[in-house]
Amino acid sequence: MKYAILSDIHGNLEALDVSLEVCRQEKVDSYVCLGDIVGYNANPKECLEIVRNLPGLTVVKGNHDEYVSNNDEVMEGFNPHAKAAVLWTKAQLSDEDRKWLSELPMRLTIKGANMTIVHATLDGPDAWGYIFDVHHAADNFSYQFTQLCFCGHSHVPVAFSKRPIAMRVNRTIEEIPEWTSEGDTDFTVADAIPITIEQGVKYLMNVGSIGQPRNHDPRASFCIYDTDKKEVVRYRIPYNIALTQQKIRAANLPERLAARLARGV
């Protein structure tokens, strides 16, 4: 069984299209979305329709999905650019679209896959906290009762493993450096980073963002989990950033939302 794990699409149709093309080539069986389908970019309705019709879809709510679907126009904690994008996005969606987003759960366990999904963190999914380091990961592992947990929200891919004390390692929780490998990366080409899932080890993986990466790599980021091969592969895929930027500007959304895409920040 192959699961595509998608997160933080943020209304970026061009990035979503190229990511799904890879999924089709890899013969993905089912799709998992970690939230924030909308926000920031200029094709929220199109992206929402595509995601809703993906085969075998399992999806949880992100903070942008939450604010787009409720009546909170203060949006405490949102910067002015994010707030402007949410208000614009609300106007692009139907009442039925917003209702669908509002009813999404905050976290889910996928039966048969030994996998939990959440947009932010398992210990407080509605607090919209971030996982950046081993200390944050430790809090999340305390609430993780499946071998795998996939999350998003930060737009920065990072992964951690937790080994049983019986394995006699220096630290039970460690970051997986291969997940964020950089080197002399050419951002104009696609690549993939495979991670083997070891028996008895727990994994927490932030898959990065399809629609607005912030790890200085502008390519769309997502992963595919192959339950038969016991392997998770993170893909980094270039897309037509210039077209996405053009649409943002045509919609009169904040200029920063367009400019940041090319830098991956």
User: Which of 59, 62, 69 is CA-nearest to residue 89?
Assistant: 69
* pLDDT for the residue numbered 79: 86
Say how many C-beta atoms besides its own lie within 10 A of residue 56's C-beta: 13
Strands 191-196, 231-237: pairing kind:
antiparallel
> What local confidence, expressed as pLDDT, does residue 77 receive?
72
218, pLDDT greater than 60? yes
24 Rama sector, left if φ>0, alpha if ψ -120 to 50, beta otherwise: alpha
CB 255 within 8 A of CB 40: no
Residue with tokens 């650019």: 81
| Torsions phi, psi for 137 (to 5 deg) | -60, -40
Phi, psi of 200 (to 5 degrees): 85, -5
pLDDT tens by residue, 8-40: 999 999 999 999 999 999 999 999 999 999 999
pLDDT tens-digit readout, 118-136:
999 999 999 999 999 999 8
Judged on CB neighbours under 10 Å (0-12, 13-18, 19+), 120 is buried
CB 214 within 8 A of CB 249: no
Task: Kindly report, residue by residue over 140-192, the tens digit of the pLDDT.
Answer: 999 999 999 999 999 999 999 998 866 555 668 999 999 998 766 789 899 99
Q: What is the pLDDT of residue 51?
A: 98
How confident is the model at residue 219, as a pLDDT?
A: 97
Distance CA 210, CA 188 (A): 15
Would you state the pLDDT for residue 71?
A: 78
> Which is more confidently placed, 78 or 40?
40
Q: Which domains does the chain have, with CATH numbers?
A: 2-263 (3.60.21.10)
Contact 197, 232 (CB under 8 A): yes
The residue type at 56? G
Reply yes or no on whether the pLDDT at 45 is more than 90: yes
CA 60 – CA 107 distance, rounded (Å): 6
What pLDDT is stored for residue 67 in this prediction?
A: 94
Q: For residues 121 and 123, give the distance between their C-alpha atoms in angstroms, rounded to a whole number.
A: 6
Best CA proximity match to 63, nearest among 10, 132, 3: 10
Q: Determine the Cα–Cα distance for residues 194 and 68; give it in Å rounded to an integer.
A: 35
